[in-house]
Homo-oligomer: A and B are copies of this chain.
């Protein structure tokens, strides 16, 4: 990367643009203003749109008929930095080590949209225009769920009309492997709570005679997969669109995904749906994961309690043609069917 572009990236990485923290609202705003100034400087028509939260920056070249209109999406806000003590170097003081830049937001998402900015700058400086009608949209609330993006898109629907939206809030398969992401799995979430006794019971006095919500919850969790990793919820795979031959062939040419997953995660052995490669399992197959489980006493040592209740938080990754509402209904039916009648079940969607 040439020095001026590198300096631009480092400058952007120094903004502590943490969208969830009201104390950083000024930094988020300053980041937006820096971007707008730069986009103006390279010759794009640029505007900062205030929202109920953080601003949205939109830059565009002069639209010419007959060219496709491309909307490039990026976000300039970042996640909080806690726990700070686990950072090897300060999160907003970028460090370059071994050809890599270490800073909060460097890969999510400042690095990517600043790469777009470099490309646009080069193209404009060499050719005076781009081969497309460009709408470059940078928001500041992605890390908090983009609450103001949808109303913004609705309000400016006609101005933002385009032929294609390109998002690079994604990753690369590996260093030196340019990666084109053409889809992401969707998600549906469910929280399951098993209610037992009306108060926590002493396991010495009542143990053996009432169902323990922790145990009953564990059975429900265990009922979701078979021993090899297939999901056992009736109908869950019904709508799943099969992978196409060209997709499987293309992915088979990539470096060994299983080896890289083993190395990155440090697990003793991989686990997942038989008949699919690591990439296929991670990119193209639905999954059921328990993101959280809890019940009873979790402190040090032991406390002889049979808890009132226990819960598990599930998220289901969905693939093309799976409908979240349909999946959630099937998930609920599964838990209702498998929950013992010695406890009460509560299934909370979302």
Contacts and interface: CB of A to CB of B under 8 A. Distances in A.
A199 B306 CA distance: 31
Interface stretch (A41-49, A92-100, A239-247, A340-348): A340-348
A231 to B, nearest CB: 10
12 contacts: A199-B265, A203-B289, A206-B282, A208-B272, A268-B342, A291-B303, A292-B303, A292-B305, A296-B313, A297-B313, A298-B311, A302-B313
Interface string A267-305: 111111100001001100101011111111111001111
A124 interface: no
Contacts of A248: none
A215 interface: yes
A189 interface: yes
Nearest to A306: B289
Interface string A64-94: 0000000000000000000000000000000
A134 interface: no
Given A198-B265, A292-B296, A270 B214 contact: no
Contacts of A350: 302
Contacts of A258: 209
Interface residues of A, number: 78
Contacts of A296: 290-293, 313
A221 B214 contact: yes
Contact of A270 (B289, B304, B315, B342): B342
Interface string A149-181: 000000000000000000000010000000000
B224 A215 contact: yes
This chain: copies in complex: 2
Interface in A97-127: none
A265 B212 contact: no
Interface in A200-232: 201, 203-212, 214-215, 217-219, 221-222, 224-225, 227, 229
A189 B305 CA distance: 12
A54 interface: no
A39 interface: no
A170 to B, nearest CB: 10
B315 A210 contact: no
Contact of A218 (B218, B269, B305): B218
A208 B293 contact: no
A343 B267 contact: yes
Nearest to A294: B298
A268 B197 contact: no
A132 interface: no
Contacts of A298: 292-294, 311, 313
A215 B290 contact: yes
